[in-house]
Amino acid sequence: MRAVVWKGPGKVSVDKVDDPRIESATDVLVRISTAGICGSDLHMYEGRTAAKPGVVMGHENMGVIEEVGSAVQQLQKGDRVVLPFNVSCGTCFNCARGYSNACLVTNDEAAGAAYGYVGMGPYRGGQAELLRVPWGEANCIKLPGTPGDELEDDFLLLSDIFPTGYHAAELANVKPGTTVAIFGAGPVGLLAAYSAMIRGAAEVYVVDAVPERLEKAQRIGAIPIDFTKGPPAEQIRNIRMQNPLVRGAMRRGEEKMAGVMCGIDAVGYQAKDFEDPSKESPMSLTEQLVDIINPTGHLGFIGVFLPQDPGAKGRAAQNGEFQLPWGQLWQKGIQLGMGQTPVRAYSLLLRDLIIAGRARPSFIVSRRIPLSEAPDAYQKFDRREPGYTKVLIKPGLAAGAGAAAS
């Protein structure tokens, strides 16, 4: 079969590799109808992880079951399924408690596994024609409809970033009436904003500098903040305090709550410096979050941080060590949440929101391409070029058939 293979920093190619096959009685083989390219893939693509060349990429996968192992009872050939990016066993101490992101069985090196990702177990990715899904019953979410129908792209987003955006909102304790600041308007940040709306947030601010992404945020009812126009915390506080309704509802002393109750980092360790975006400075983003979060608030760090980043400048950053304004966090009494999303905990319910017509996360999809266009799309997505906010690979499309999403 053909698959997208990582060759080294800045290079992927579409190679012929061996077809996957059923290796264990609980396996399922899926013929891929759609696979997403994710911001998380870019960490590997750029050589900013400990990955070795040869990885078959892709952890955002869906398709149709082609074959099931002899122990699989609840699924059958022909079922349409989406696969949460976490590979989990479904029954260990953590899986049983809903933490499929920290499965104790599927990865010998650490808690938690994924398809096509360094350090996340031996599993190949699904930017390919076929995918072996281990522990098939635990890892397949069944879908209605037929491949390529009008909900295909919405369903694909159940593999990672819709649940991830939702999880970010959960970590940040977004509830009806809350105020939310989200840093990063990539797919994750945009779906965190969308999830915040679903959860009833009153005001949602989204910070980035890419115009196309900020426009998408505005289109779903968020307030875009361009970080090239000044410190985001100050911009948000000014907007809030210049609103006579917000101001008029405050009693004396409540200006101390001029910031927001919920903050989300949807960028992670490769965040750009606000003053000089040619540099990285993840802690300047954290400082802005700590500044804008109100006393008693919650912060969710959904953007990735890694324990090893050989490509970082300086020994501390190479070991994933950063300096935090711990004193301010303590004084404000802030709760922090972080880590990989337990996708399965959300994907069934979010699927049902899509089925009921109450969520359409595919507004973020900007381009659909055949496998052969993946190398070009990686390069353009990596440069955050217009039209490449979220690219979906459709292995069934003929070469040359790539097109912008309408």
Note the residues at the interface with ligand NAD (CB under 6 A). 38-40, 42-43, 160-161, 164, 183-189, 207-210, 213, 227, 266-268, 271-272, 274, 285, 302-304, 340-341, 384
Q: Select from ligand NAD, Zn ion, none the partner in contact with residue 92, using the beta carbon and a kind-dependent cut-off of 5 to 8 Å.
A: Zn ion
Helix, strand, coil tally for the chain in percent (to 5): 30, 20, 45
Tell me the CA distances in angstroms from 252 to 246, 247, 256, 305, one per residue in order. 13, 10, 9, 40
Residue 57 Cα distances to 36, 42, 80, 286, 393, angstroms: 10, 10, 21, 30, 12
Cα–Cα dist 359/351, whole Å: 9
Residue with smaller CB distance to ligand NAD, 43 or 394: 43
**E-assigned strand segments in 222-311:** 223-226, 260-265, 293-301
Pick from ligand NAD, Zn ion, none: which does 227 bind, CB < 5 to 8 A by kind?
Answer: ligand NAD
For residue 32, the minimal CB distance to ligand NAD (Å) is: 19
| Measured distance CA(372)–CA(390) in Å, rounded | 17
Which residue has the closest beta carbon to Zn ion?
38
Q: How far is the CB of 132 from ligand NAD (least distance, A)?
A: 22
What does the buried/exposed string (b/e) look like for 349-370 if buried means 16 or more CB atoms within 10 Å of the residue's CB? ebbebbeeeebebbbbbbbbbb
Instruction: DSSP letter for 354, please.
Output: H
40 part of the interface to Zn ion, by CB under 5 A = yes
Region from 39-47, 143-151, 253-261, 296-304 binding Zn ion, contact rule CB under 5 A? 39-47
Interacting span for Zn ion (CB under 5 A) from 157-165, 186-194, 265-273, 292-300 = 157-165
Letters for 78-97 (x = contact with Zn ion by CB under 5 A, - = none) are ----------xx--x--x--
Task: Report if residue 143 touches Zn ion, rule: CB under 5 A.
Answer: no
- Whichever of 233 and 302 has its CB closer to Zn ion, that residue is 302
Nearer to ligand NAD, 79 or 226 (CB): 226
Question: DSSP string spanning 188-221?
Answer: HHHHHHHHHHHTT-SEEEEEES-HHHHHHHHHTT
Give me 381's structure tokens: 């997505």
Please report how the helices 211-219 and 187-198 are oriented relative to each other, as an axis angle in degrees rounded to 10: 10
Q: How far is the CB of 255 from ligand NAD (least distance, A)?
A: 25
Query: Distance (Å, rounded) from C-alpha 358 to C-alpha 72?
Result: 32
Exactly one of 103, 334, 365, 374 binds Zn ion (CB under 5 A); that residue is: 103
Residue nearer to ligand NAD on the CB measure, 63 or 112: 112
Binding to Zn ion by residue 38, rule CB under 5 A?
yes
Q: Which segments of 243-314 does DSSP mark as H helices, in order?
A: 244-248, 282-292
Stretch that binds Zn ion, among 155-163, 171-179, 241-249, 288-296 (CB under 5 A): 155-163
State the nearest-atom distance from the C-beta of 349 to Zn ion, in Å.
Answer: 19
Q: Decide if 61 contacts 126 (C-beta within 8 A).
A: yes
Tokens for 354? 């899509």
Residue 160 touching Zn ion (CB under 5 A): yes
Q: Which does 103 bind (CB under 5 to 8 A by kind): Zn ion, ligand NAD, none?
A: Zn ion
Q: How many CA atoms lie within 13 A of 267 on its CB side?
A: 26
Q: How far is the CB of 117 from Zn ion (least distance, A)?
A: 9
Q: How far is the CB of 208 from ligand NAD (least distance, A)?
A: 4
What minimum distance in Å lies between the beta carbon of 181 and ligand NAD? 10
Nearer to ligand NAD, 26 or 213 (CB): 213
Indicate which of ligand NAD, Zn ion, none lies near residue 89 (CB less than 5 to 8 Å, by partner kind). Answer: Zn ion
Q: Is 207 in the site for Zn ion (CB under 5 A)?
A: no
As measured in angstroms, the least distance from the Cβ of 127 to Zn ion is: 11
Distance CA 108, CA 215 (A): 43
State the minimum distance, in angstroms, from the CB of residue 94 to ligand NAD.
15
**Cβ-proximal residues to 166 (8 Å cutoff; 6+ apart), any chain:** 191, 192, 195, 198, 346, 350
Site residues (CB under 5 A) for Zn ion? 38, 40, 60, 88-89, 92, 95, 103, 105, 160
